[in-house]
Amino acid sequence: MEYLRMSVTDRCDMKCAYCMPTGGAERAEGCDMLKFSEFLTLAEIFARMGVRKIRLTGGEPLVRKGILGFVRALGRVPGVEQIALTTNGVRLPRMAAELKEAGIDTLNISLDSLRPDRYAAITGLDTLTQTLDGIRAALAARFERVKVNVVVMKGVNDDEIAAFARMSLSLPVQVRFIEFMPATPSVWSEARFMNIDAVRAAVEEIGELTPATPQQWGGPAKVYRLPGAAGEVGFIAAVSRHFCDDCNRLRLTSSGKLMTCLFGKEDLDLAASLRGGADPRTIADSITAALAVKNAVRTLPGDPHDRTRPSMTCIGG
Ligand code: SAM
Ligand code: SF4
């Protein structure tokens, strides 16, 4: 296990319907956010166990005060070789250069529509211009890689697949199409789901796809390049295909629970261990025990009305 995702806050300035629990960002009971010092202690334990890449996510990681100092501290943890961050991009025009300087290596920016009215309807914020400026600011800051995450929803934004794919022709970004996952049961429906093969077919109408060079810790995306493109396109079959066998990621929720599978439940309360005074060795042993169940192939949350799962903002996507 070399890749850890940390949800550093369940708070967010947006309210994307497919992600937020119905009713908005009310903090779930018991969803008490970890302090940065606690995240750091856990990062040191994970790094000693072999984790090399850490992705900061949320909620919106850039709304958490002190995030730049935390990134700098994370960069000093022995063994951590790459720090990535996933953001809705709104604060990037101001923060891209500072994030690069603090030690973020790669950036994923979420963007589900290029039309201002639709963007506002999906996110609850009228900030398409800021996010597009944020992508430009990220490119200007010269991160190792900039990726644009697009969740494809039938009847919502599937008519923009070609426009997003064309973004990779002129900009050196990787545009990644992601299948819509049933994270928020009240919003997900079979009718809104679009299989990644159909998304890929729509992209292939623009031109032939050539496989791109795989990246270290690249994750489950299948990545290609359109003819003459400056960037790449990627496809993530988050729902239609199981990639459990070679899944290399662990998740730490904003409240300090370890999840060994996005579709599982919380496997281990690391916050409770830390606060109860457990020593690093004991915590590492409990993580090893939790990992023993990781490679079992899971299914999507079976019951769409199961409210015992933490929200996507708590898990971090
Ligand atoms: N606020 C940041 C952002 O939006 O990029 C980081 C957190 S967000 C939970 C991380 C990723 O999860 C985003 O790319 C978002 O699009 C994705 N996501 C959230 N809900 C999803 C869903 N139901 N299906 C697929 N992806 C989802
Ligand atoms: Fe916030 Fe990101 Fe979820 Fe949208 S996808 S509500 S920006 S955490």
C-beta atoms surrounding 31 within 10 Å: 17
Pair 244, 264: CB distance under 8 Å:
no
CATH number at residue 43: 3.20.20.70
Q: Which distant-in-sequence residues (6+ apart) come within 8 Å of 102 by Cβ? A: 68, 69, 71, 72, 75
Helix or strand run (H / E) with residue 147: strand 145-152
Read off the pLDDT band of 238 (50, 70, 90): confident
Q: How far apart are CA 139 and CA 195, in angstroms?
A: 30
Q: For residue range 125-143, list pLDDT tens digits in order.
A: 999 999 999 999 999 999 9
Q: For residue range 245-284, list pLDDT tens digits in order.
A: 677 789 999 999 998 877 777 679 999 999 999 999 999 9
Higher pLDDT, residue 307 or 247: 247
Q: Given this model, what pLDDT does residue 118 score?
A: 97
Q: How far apart are CA 304 and CA 93, in angstroms?
A: 37
Give the type of residue at 230.
A
Q: In the predicted model, what is the mean pLDDT of the chain?
A: 90
Read off the pLDDT band of 22 (50, 70, 90): low
Atom number in ligand 2 closest to CA 15:
6
Read off the pLDDT band of 31 (50, 70, 90): low
Q: Given this model, what pLDDT does residue 314 score?
A: 80
Q: For residue range 72-99, list pLDDT tens digits in order.
A: 999 999 999 999 999 999 999 999 999 9
Sign of torsion over alpha carbons 240, 232, 202, 110: positive
Q: Given this model, what pLDDT does residue 27 score?
A: 56
Q: Which of 106, 101, 93, 98 is nearest to 57 (CA)?
A: 106
Predicted TM-score (pTM) of the model is 0.94
Q: Given this model, what pLDDT does residue 307 score?
A: 57
Read off the pLDDT band of 304 (50, 70, 90): very low
Measured from the CB, is residue 60 less than 6 Å from ligand 2?
yes
Buried b (16+ CB within 10 A) or exposed e, 57-88: bbbbbbbbeebbebbebbeebeebebbbbbbb
Is the predicted pLDDT of residue 17 greater than 50, yes or no? yes
Q: Which domain holds residue 171?
A: 3-315
Q: How is residue 48 written in tokens?
A: 């000693």
Is the predicted pLDDT of residue 209 greater than 60, yes or no? yes
Is the predicted pLDDT of residue 29 greater than 90, yes or no? no
Measured from the CB, is residue 19 less than 6 Å from ligand 2?
yes
Is the predicted pLDDT of residue 158 greater than 60, yes or no? yes
What is the per-residue DSSP string for 37-94?
HHHHHHHHHHHHTT--EEEEESS-GGGSTTHHHHHHHHHTSTT--EEEEEE-STTHHH
Q: How is residue 21 written in tokens?
A: 């629990």
Atom number in ligand 2 closest to CA 86:
2
Domain count, the chain: 1
Q: Compute the distance from residue 41 Cα to the ligand 1 centre, in Å.
A: 26
Q: Residue 104, SS3?
A: coil
Query: Which ligand lies nearest to the CA atom of residue 310 in the structure?
Result: 1
The angle, 0 to 180 degrees and rounded to 10, between the axes of the packed helices 161-170 and 196-204 is: 60
